[in-house]
Amino acid sequence: MTHNLSSNAAPAAGEVTRDAVLTVRDLNVVYQGAPPVHAVKDVSLTLHRGEILGLAGESGCGKSTLAYAINRLHEWPAEVTSGSVTFHDRDGQDLDLLALRSEQLRRFRWSKLSMVFQGAMNALNPVTSVRAQLEDVLTTHRPGMSKQDRRARCAGVLELVGVEPRRMDSYPHELSGGMRQRVMIAMALLLDPQVVIMDEPTTALDVLVQRGILREILRLRDELGFAVIFITHDLPLLLELSDRIAVMLRGQVVEYDTAETIYGQPRHPYTRQLLDSFPSLTGERGAFLRGGATVDRETSPGAAPTEPGTADGNQVRSHGGAR
Ligand SMILES: Nc1ncnc2c1ncn2[C@@H]1O[C@H](COP(=O)(O)OP(=O)(O)OP(=O)(O)O)[C@@H](O)[C@H]1O
């Protein structure tokens, strides 16, 4: 059974535009406790415009720390000890994110780069309507915008993510979990950002709702052209969704390649181990279809299964296709 989330308009992996929107170089993040925890080690990544970059790895490998540091959302005791994060704006300007002052950072977040968290589903203010929460972002970031334009933009962005605009006057508790998460995605897209970081955005949702939302993300990416850093320990899902995947292990990126290569010819033993920990990715049912070509996984006889409770936290979806 093949589930293919992608639309045909998406660039095939390896064919993503070479135009970079975000460059992370030799980034190190340390939690300055006793003892210090070196959570992100010499990470270098390049995110291209319109690309979906998957960050994979078991719980505790540093995915969230990396995402937070990129967006400067990390808080003490987390400290970026070295490295750089550069945002390449579509107007041609390069922004050194680690050097932005708080006011610059406030203007940068949401408008150029936004983030959707797993917990964000419950982060909506319970006593404020969806409309007020969306409009608040516009009032803050687009102070010159007329009330009428604000309303139209909020309705438009909700429609984009599949929420009927009449829901605007609802309060968060009146919406299902999936709907709330769609509202969070709408909020993240409100200012037309060039990058959206999604940290386990659908993990708490049931599989069908999750797939609906992921399809929506792919469609919106095709339509609006933003790039995505998508974080999850659900490797089958990442293989379907991503153009390229970075596999993290104990703070380091140990493999970084197209989804096909990660699936078909994984080089690092940990990547093989991770793949083998998802039964639906092994054997014939795991034949991986992408761009019309079937890529069979090389078997890795030496690979040991991942420890229970690490990479296989999610029950695997019936998997047989990608993109
Ligand atoms: N406040 C903190 N103080 C000290 N160490 C921390 C703190 N927060 C996280 N860590 C450690 O940093 C490392 C990376 O954690 P991080 O949450 O980034 O991993 P992750 O891959 O996102 O995990 P998960 O998938 O469970 O969210 C882990 O060893 C974790 O224990």
Tens of pLDDT, residue by residue over 280-301, are: 776 554 444 334 344 455 443 3
pLDDT (average), residues 88-101: 94
What per-residue confidence (pLDDT) applies to 209?
78
Q: Which has the higher per-residue pLDDT, 82 or 161? A: 82
Res. 140: pLDDT tops 50:
yes
Is 277 contained in some domain? Answer: yes
Q: Which has the higher per-residue pLDDT, 145 or 292? A: 145
Q: Ligand 1 in contact with 232 (CB < 6 A)?
A: no
Q: Ligand 1 in contact with 60 (CB < 6 A)?
A: yes
Distance 75 CA to ligand 1 centre (A): 12
Is 133 contained in some domain? Answer: no
Minimum-distance ligand 1 atom for the alpha carbon of 37: 5
Cis peptide before 126 (omega within 30 of 0): no
What per-residue confidence (pLDDT) applies to 282?
60
Which amino acid, one-letter code, is at 157? V
What per-residue confidence (pLDDT) applies to 214?
85
Q: How confident is the model at residue 120 (pLDDT cuts 50, 70, 90)?
A: low
Whose Cα sits closest to atom 16 in ligand 1? 62
Minimum-distance ligand 1 atom for the alpha carbon of 61: 21
Output the furthest CA–CA distance in the chain (Å, rounded): 63
pLDDT (average), residues 16-35: 90
Is 130 contained in some domain? Answer: no
Q: Ligand 1 in contact with 77 (CB < 6 A)?
A: yes
Distance 13 CA to ligand 1 centre (A): 30
CA distances from 152 to 10, 131, 145, 191 (A): 28, 11, 11, 13
Q: How confident is the model at residue 61 (pLDDT cuts 50, 70, 90)?
A: very high
Whose Cα sits closest to atom 31 in ligand 1? 60
pLDDT (average), residues 31-44: 97
Structure tokens that stand for 184 in this block? 């969070």
Is 120 contained in some domain? Answer: no
Whose Cα sits closest to atom 26 in ligand 1? 59
Structure tokens that stand for 67 in this block? 């995402």
* 73/69 Cα distance (integer angstroms): 6
Helix %, strand %, coil % of the chain (to 5): 35, 25, 40
State the total domains in the chain: 1
Length of the chain, in residues = 323
Q: Residue 219 belongs to a domain with what CATH number? A: 3.40.50.300
Is 80 contained in some domain? Answer: yes
Res. 12: pLDDT tops 50:
no
At residue 190, the 3 state secondary structure works out as: coil
Q: What is the mean pLDDT of the chain?
A: 81
Is 257 contained in some domain? Answer: yes
Q: In sequence order, what E strands does the chain have?
A: 20-31, 37-48, 52-56, 78-88, 94-96, 113-117, 195-199, 227-231, 244-249, 252-258, 288-290, 293-295
Which amino acid, one-letter code, is at 117? F
Q: Ligand 1 in contact with 65 (CB < 6 A)?
A: yes
* Full domain range(s) for residue 215: 20-112+193-295
Distance 235 CA to ligand 1 centre (A): 19
Res. 227: pLDDT tops 90:
yes
Is 161 contained in some domain? Answer: no
Is 221 contained in some domain? Answer: yes
What per-residue confidence (pLDDT) applies to 97?
96
Q: Which segment of 51-60, 64-73, 228-237, 278-287 scores lowest on mean pLDDT?
A: 278-287
Whose Cα sits closest to atom 4 in ligand 1? 31
